[in-house]
Amino acid sequence: MIRSDIIRGHLDSIILRLILEEDRYGYEISKEISLRTDNRFQIKEATLYAVFQRLEKKELIEAYIGNVSQGGKRKYYKITLLGKAYLKELVEEWNEVKEIIDLFMEGLK
């Protein structure tokens, strides 16, 4: 299991990436994160919804109510143009950080 504090600073970019691929609802995002990481990282529901609130407030994502499914209406999230531009910046920043960390970690086991 990965220490959550290491990933915490990258939750915005992870969630924006998943919403960029397709509009998604909370539980779906949570499951997708677990699936793609082979359960090495799991996001708590409270954390996920705090990220949604933050991203919505910054107008990086928008929420809408989807069609009724299995008895209820789901709240979906979609990325905005601003969100796409912000994600692009985050990716560039990540690549630079990764390069710098690799300089110091390469060759160690």
| Domain extents in the chain | 4-105
The pTM (predicted TM-score) of the whole model is 0.87
Residue 30's SS3 state is helix
pLDDT, one tens digit per residue, over 48-71 is 999 999 999 999 999 999 876 666
> What's the pLDDT at 85?
98
| CA separation for the pair 69, 67 (Å, rounded) | 6
| CA separation for the pair 109, 106 (Å, rounded) | 9
C-alpha Rg value of the chain to the nearest Å: 16
Residue in this structure with the two tokens 């107008």, named with its chain if needed: 59
Region 19-36 average pLDDT? 96
Residue 40's SS3 state is coil
Pick the CATH number of 4-105 from 1.10.150.80, 1.10.10.10, 2.160.10.10, 1.10.490.10: 1.10.10.10
